[in-house]
Amino acid sequence: MTDHNTECPMTDVPAQAERILIVDDDPSMRTALMESVRRLGFDVQGAIDGADAVERVSRYKPWLVVTDLKMPRLGGLDLIKEIKSRSPHTLMVLMTAYGTVETAVEAMKYGASDYILKPFSTDLLERVIANLKARGADASMSPSAPIDQRSILTQDPGMVRLLSTVEGVAASQATVLIHGESGTGKELLARFIHSRSPRAHRPFIAVNCAALPDGLLESELFGHERGAFTGAIMKKIGKFEMAHTGTLLLDEISEINMGLQAKLLRVIQEREVDRVGGREPVSVNIRVIATTNRSLYHEVEQGRFREDLYYRLNVFPITVPPLRERPADIPLLVRHFVAVSAARNGLPQPTISEAAYAMLQDRRWKGNVRELENVMERAVLLAGNGPILPSHVLLDFVGQPVSCAPVPSVPLPSANGSLWEMERELIFQTLARVNENRTHAAKELGISIRTLRNKLREYRGTSCQVLA
């Protein structure tokens, strides 16, 4: 490819990977952004609107374009479409205000690599750029690539404060313990910490400690040598070793038994793993994040969790508040999930009636964000081509009562077709569909694995013949 450009002799042109174009019609914003990008060591140009940007992209050939949404002549979305059709390898990031999440989702569909919700700190922009660098050639998403759902959306002041503290701790090596009710976004937060850490482009390995029986969990975590036990035909590398140089998420850590807790303590203290049946310890460099939806301290008091391990994990404790304590997030997440579901199902973006909003706002959301996500997915499908009305908002009955209340030993009086039975049916059907994989079933049902297990225990205690 030859491109004769007399204005810019090749020797003076910085490598393409070093060039960034900032597009914003607000001069002070544009200057500030250009300045912070320049401080990162990039070569930078500014464009005053979309049309100016199109021209500059063809001459300047930037690696990345960071664009505002609303501008005269050509807006941010049209700019993304335009640039992506002319030069698909140019990376695009959209800056957009809260409340226009649909637009952000739209932008990702057109091939934007990321979006930044305004207002944001220059820190965040720097991290987004660093992330794109780390993602290298893969950073550009094709229009058919899945929408990146990893960003944590919030406009709740408490959550915003929490996230900025978390960004600080992400940069460190500190072990983080995340408390929170089921479905509040603990795993998402763990991924967020990893993505904002110096280990961002190293592995992120998650282990759900509740999903496996003890023996399996042990070899899953620590690995085993060939022939270590009956059935160990091949050597297996454990998750600790897989996470080497990266982050290991120990999800639902309260579910680990005392024996494994001792082994875990050793790895966390010594950073050395003993494979089952292995002779030599293997040293690992990992950052540990753990989540729990029970109070781990309470577990210690009850003698179910080792105190020494608790203190090792509790270096930086975070509590994610339940959704009902951050009501401002409800409409934001509703719009986001509706936009994502409609895009995924190839449906037009529906509007949401005020009455439906009111219903959603009043709910206690015991299943938190996950429950809301499921409810909105169903609402989108039920609404079809029309607006979302209260009748489309089918509130979840599965997962509602059990996670907080003790499981009744005797089921509610049940005639055929009672809620209790419908729920049980649904659970078994789902389990059958996913080959009895409880983790998958719980995800599909929108309940925690613990809730699922409690349910199954409850069903086993009844006289019904349920599974062959």
Ligand X SMILES: Nc1ncnc2c1ncn2[C@@H]1O[C@H](COP(=O)(O)OP(=O)(O)OP(=O)(O)O)[C@@H](O)[C@H]1O
Nearest to 405 by CA among 350, 363, 364: 364
Spatial contact of 200 and 194, defined as CB atoms under 8 Å apart: yes
We find the least distance from the C-beta atom of residue 338 to ligand X, in angstroms, to be 12
Kindly tell me which residue out of 24, 68, 187, 218 binds Mg ion, with binding defined by CB under 5 A: 187
We find the least distance from the C-beta atom of residue 320 to ligand X, in angstroms, to be 7
Residue 274 contacts which entry, Mg ion, ligand X, none (Cβ below 5-8 A, type-dependent):
none
Q: Check binding of 373 to ligand X (CB under 6 A).
A: yes
Query: Which region among 183-191, 378-386, 389-397, 455-463 touches ligand X (by CB under 6 A)?
Result: 183-191
The residue among 207 and 273 lying less far from Mg ion, judged by its C-beta, is 207
Query: What are the E-state strand segments in 293-408?
Result: 316-320
Residue 185 contacts which entry, Mg ion, ligand X, none (Cβ below 5-8 A, type-dependent):
ligand X
Q: How many CA atoms lie within 13 A of 390 on its CB side?
A: 7
We find the least distance from the C-beta atom of residue 332 to ligand X, in angstroms, to be 8
For ligand X, what does the binding mask look like between residues 294 and 333, x meaning CB under 6 A?
---------------------------------------x
Instruction: Specify which residues 137 forms β-bridges with.
Output: none
For Mg ion, what does the binding mask look like between residues 405 and 434, x meaning CB under 5 A?
------------------------------
Question: Closest residue to Mg ion, Cβ-based?
Answer: 187
Kindly tell me which residue out of 84, 370, 392, 455 binds ligand X, with binding defined by CB under 6 A: 370
We find the least distance from the C-beta atom of residue 451 to ligand X, in angstroms, to be 8
Q: How far apart are CA 321 and CA 111, in angstroms?
A: 33
Two tokens at 45? 């140009």
Number of helices (H) and strands (E) in the chain: give both, helices first: 18, 14
The residue among 274 and 373 lying less far from Mg ion, judged by its C-beta, is 373
Phi, psi of 76 (to 5 degrees): -60, -45
Q: Check binding of 274 to Mg ion (CB under 5 A).
A: no
Task: Report 122-151 residues binding ligand X (CB under 6 A).
Answer: 149
Q: How many CA atoms lie within 13 A of 144 on its CB side?
A: 0
Kindly tell me which residue out of 448, 452, 455, 456 binds ligand X, with binding defined by CB under 6 A: 448
Alpha-helix runs per DSSP H in 363-448:
368-383, 419-433, 438-445
Pairing of strands 43-47, 176-180: unpaired
| Site residue total, ligand X (CB under 6 A) | 18
The residue among 81 and 336 lying less far from ligand X, judged by its C-beta, is 336
Nearest to 43 by CA among 63, 67, 69: 63
The residue among 188 and 237 lying less far from Mg ion, judged by its C-beta, is 188
Spatial contact of 315 and 177, defined as CB atoms under 8 Å apart: yes
Q: How far apart are CA 222 and CA 274, in angstroms?
A: 6
* DSSP per residue, 108-130: HHTT-SEEEEES--HHHHHHHHH
Residue 188 contacts which entry, Mg ion, ligand X, none (Cβ below 5-8 A, type-dependent):
ligand X
Q: Check binding of 377 to ligand X (CB under 6 A).
A: no
Question: Closest residue to ligand X, Cβ-based?
Answer: 185
Spatial contact of 194 and 243, defined as CB atoms under 8 Å apart: no
Task: Report 146-175 residues binding ligand X (CB under 6 A).
Answer: 149, 152-154
Q: 330: how many CB neighbours lie within 10 A of its CB?
A: 20
Question: Which residues are near Mg ion by CB under 5 A?
Answer: 187
Question: Which residues are near ligand X by CB under 6 A?
Answer: 149, 152-154, 180, 182-188, 293, 333, 369-370, 373, 448
